[in-house]
Structure 1
């Protein structure tokens, strides 16, 4: 189990927040696997191509049962459909709504929870599941602008 699970909650634009988070992770040399609903992963894939025209964020979308070409294995960011096997186990970012598959194998887990009622409810279920598993949870509440909220939430 990862030592800490980070929850980023309340962002108005979860895809935009994920793009900024992944750009920062890439700049720091982190290797990240991203899980979530297929539609969210498609939106994130599209957004990463258009997010910063002058700063490409290399990524691969991997569907269940697909084997990545050997030349792609150095790619630092992987968008994983359910059942797809990540090529590394460094950082896991979960866009939800369900628990990611095999999160215990990762060194670090980041849960992103948007501001919609459905997303908040799904995030609360994941929070309770992590608590029940004994994970230490760190909470980062966001304002509607995507920045940190003042004080504890």
Structure 2
């Protein structure tokens, strides 16, 4: 992190019953608010989110692009508000990182906000606890949200 830079806010969304649908709704809300978001995770999860972003709401579309990494984003699509990337990078100026992976992403400190979406699955919860500890050890302020809560 650069000297003088502000540590990003980290928010954990726990007990999410269905991660992919939850992420789609989260991305729709972020896009409507004008945020630019990178979603990172395993290829299979990103493929499912990509598919659902086309179908989860019949009369709406969340502008997005899916690929391996930021270098693969075509020039004409670099302003796309939602990027689904296996290898993320804040290089295009996106300010929010949604992590669907099991590890803390490298360069997470370069975003303004990091969101972790955690299912009810015990393995997922275990890995989230480890990520919580890593963010906390780095000095991040962590927020906890329960899915379905106010």
TM-score between both structures, scaled by the size of structure 1:
0.88
2:47: which partner in 1? 42
Q: Which residue of 1 aligns with 2:82?
A: 77
Contact 1:2 1:104 in 2 (8 A): yes
1:26 and 2:17 are equivalent in the alignment: no
CA contact (8 A) 2:68 2:85 kept: yes
Task: Describe the SS at the equivalent of 1:44.
Answer: helix
Residue of structure 1 equivalent to 2:111? 106
State the shift of 1:96 in Å. Answer: 2.1
Question: What is the alpha-carbon distance in structure 1 between the residues aligned to residue 70 and residue 24 of structure 2?
Answer: 26
Q: Which has the higher helix share?
A: 2
- For these two proteins, the number of residue pairs brought into alignment is 144
SS at match of 1:29: coil
Matched, 1:132 2:141: no
Deviation at 1:118, TM superposition (A): 0.9
* Residues 48-67 of structure 1 aligned to structure 2 (within 5 Å): 48-64=53-69, 66-67=71-72
Q: Distance in 1 between matches of 2:69 and 2:76?
A: 19
**TM-score with structure 2 setting the length:** 0.89
Please report the RMSD computed on the Cα atoms of aligned residues, expressed in angstroms.
1.6
Tell me how far apart the structure 1 counterparts of residues 69 and 75 of structure 2 sit (CA, whole Å): 17
